Structure 1
Amino acid sequence: MAKKKKNEEVLPEGMSRRQAKLAARAAERAALERDPRPYGGLAMEADLVALQEFVPSAFAEIKVAGVDRKVYVATVLPGAGAALVRDEEFGGDAFVGLQTAAHSHNPNRDLAYALNWLKTAKPGETLQAAVADGSEPALDSLLSATDTLDVQAHEDFNWWLPEGTQLNPQLAQSMQAANDSILPSFPVTGDFDGVAWWIDPGEKAHIRWVRTDDEDKLLQALARIAAAGELLLGEGTKFAGVFRTHGIAVPVWDLDPAVAVSEYGPLLEALDKRIKAELDNDAALSPDERKALQNIKSRQVTIR
């Protein structure tokens, strides 16, 4: 096969061959770059992180610039798809999933891609994959930085289907399998920073507390409290450590699953006050506090 002549190459208008190659390489590098804090700057940051990383079944209404219909951001959609718009006979509402089968390094850009798709999507259409390709607008141009989420937690995925939908045996079996996979998970309510979720995978329950503080300051605050023997959420609880995801830290506690979720709200409020008091403590760490900090960091893991 004859080689394609250089003068037959189709180049971007106004670009030389060298400029086109440099632009292509820059685009490739940009696609591989990871935003250090993808949802930073949004008041809903902690909720988005929780919904994307460990909440099984929940959704919340969001306002999207340029989209007239109701839009809900959800944990996961059928088939782990990216977005869908219901038929008009079922209200025409739109849903965007955060836990998707296909994604890029930057969930904020993927979410922006899916939300932007809704601007032209028609009732009944679905978007299976929303992998950012550079065509999507910035997320903060679609979502207000000050908007918060009113997350509705569910113990099943029945909300996937509009009310009154008739299930054939195959679909009913698939729905049952999805529902059976859900671990009991509930938000912990209270007047404290961030968002906390209680989850019971079996032998012991956990609380995962998504906080948006500066990570270094938060870890030092936790270390000071741990050194004082007060990094607990009541009798029979244990501080399990901290994991990092999407640029923020998530402290975790092991709990007795027999204790009601509602009892942890006041305990988190009290601990939140302790943490806030220590966040701006610039005093040097004591030997015990340094040891506690080293212990926390040595067990810290990064999800993504």
Structure 2
Amino acid sequence: MAKRATVDFVLRPFEGLPGEPDWVAMREVVPAATGTARTTAEHGAREVVVATVLPMAWPALHRADGTIMIALQQHAGSGDASRDLADLLLRALELPAGTPITSAPLPEPGPRLQDVLDLDVPFEVTVHQGFDFWTEGGTDLGPDVGPALEQMNETIIPTHRLTSVDAAYWARMGEREYLRWAVPHDEQDFLDALARLHVRRESGLGDQGSVGKFIGAFRSCGVLVPVWDLAPGTEAAELEEPVQALGGRLAEALAVEGPLDANERRARAGLVARQLTLR
């Protein structure tokens, strides 16, 4: 029996796509959101809705109204999320309208999202406060979807995407609020910049971190996602100004050349100790 070809592992699968940090954030930290994409002319120039999740954990769906949908939050994969999603997308394009893909076998080597999507189409994210986008246009997805939709809407974590910077998401989890910000910078350069700010007590949000304190970061799909613990009761709108100010400080720190000094190196070591790799 011939050995099945396997897909090579890719550390940063969404690199090169418009809005790479938002792809990562939607895959890891945003419960309900959709993003815009379009296939290349070779693949029909079809509009595609990229969703966080789909009903019944379906990997993809050719909705009855003709909409093609793929889900980012999937548990298994080949090691290259871009290849996995491209395979699902191409399969969904061939399905009759109203048909879901209910399972996702591992694909063999083949085109990736970077090959099948029009890279000139911006990835515009809409965060939803529920999963009703599944049934937009009156689409009937079957009797099991209604109860699942109701249950998921009851347990959703309130989330908002900020407008002052890209790929930054406020979330309320229980009685606490957090900011999780997927950053597009090289990880080592970003950690150097954050360390420079940290020793000056400028890595927080607001004056002396009054709005939010940096508590750590996780790494997913090759992108770093720093996290700030916010002052209790902080609403998303209150973050716009302090996050924009922090973005300015980070840009200045990223532009600094030369090695870190002793204090900055110690600060950097502390930042690295608070990191976690998700996948």
The one-letter code of the counterpart of 2:240 is G
Distance 1:168 1:79, change over 3 A: closer
Q: Secondary structure at the match of 2:117?
A: coil
What is the aligned partner in structure 2 of residue 116 from structure 1?
90
Provide the C-alpha distance between the structure 2 equivalents of 1:237 and 1:204, rounded to a whole number of angstroms: 11
Q: Secondary structure at the match of 2:84?
A: helix
| Equivalent pair of 1:200/1:257 in contact (CA under 8 Å) | no
Q: Secondary structure at the match of 1:118?
A: helix
Provide the C-alpha distance between the structure 1 equivalents of 2:174 and 2:278, rounded to a whole number of angstroms: 22
What is the aligned partner in structure 2 of residue 147 from structure 1?
121
Equivalent of residue 240 in structure 1, options 215, 220, 227: 215
What is the aligned partner in structure 1 of residue 21 from structure 2?
46
Provide the C-alpha distance between the structure 2 equivalents of 1:145 and 1:227, rounded to a whole number of angstroms: 39
Shift of 1:135: 5.0
Q: Secondary structure at the match of 2:265?
A: helix
The yes-or-no answer on 1:198 pairing with 2:193 is no
The one-letter code of the counterpart of 1:266 is E
Gaps in structure 1 of 5+ consecutive residues: 1-9, 11-19
Shift of 1:68: 4.8
Provide the C-alpha distance between the structure 1 equivalents of 2:196 and 2:134, rounded to a whole number of angstroms: 45
Shift of 1:295: 0.4
After TM superposition, the structure 1 = structure 2 runs for residues 59-138 of structure 1, keeping only pairs within 5 Å, are 59-65=34-40, 66-87=43-64, 91-134=65-108, 136-138=110-112
Equivalent of residue 158 in structure 1, options 93, 116, 132: 132
Provide the C-alpha distance between the structure 1 equivalents of 2:28 and 2:276, rounded to a whole number of angstroms: 14
What is the aligned partner in structure 2 of residue 6 from structure 1?
none
| Equivalent pair of 2:191/2:271 in contact (CA under 8 Å) | yes
| Equivalent pair of 1:44/1:147 in contact (CA under 8 Å) | no
Provide the C-alpha distance between the structure 1 equivalents of 2:177 and 2:91, rounded to a whole number of angstroms: 38
Shift of 1:213: 0.5
What TM-score do you get using the length of structure 1 for normalisation? 0.83
Provide the C-alpha distance between the structure 2 equivalents of 1:41 and 1:165, rounded to a whole number of angstroms: 33
After TM superposition, the structure 1 = structure 2 runs for residues 248-259 of structure 1, keeping only pairs within 5 Å, are 248-259=223-234
Shift of 1:210: 0.4
Provide the C-alpha distance between the structure 2 equivalents of 1:44 and 1:121, rounded to a whole number of angstroms: 28
The percentage of counterpart residues that share the same residue type is: 35
Shift of 1:141: 1.4
After superposition, the CA RMSD in angstroms is 2.2
Bigger radius of gyration among the two: 1
Distance 1:167 1:115, change over 3 A: closer
Provide the C-alpha distance between the structure 1 equivalents of 2:141 and 2:81, rounded to a whole number of angstroms: 33
Number of corresponding residues:
274
| Equivalent pair of 2:63/2:139 in contact (CA under 8 Å) | no
Distance 1:171 1:107, change over 3 A: closer
Shift of 1:199: 0.7
Shift of 1:173: 3.0
What TM-score do you get using the length of structure 2 for normalisation? 0.90
Shift of 1:76: 0.0
Deviations 1:89-147 (A, max 9, x none): xx221111111254332211111111111331210111123344225412211123343
What is the aligned partner in structure 2 of residue 7 from structure 1?
none
Shift of 1:67: 3.5
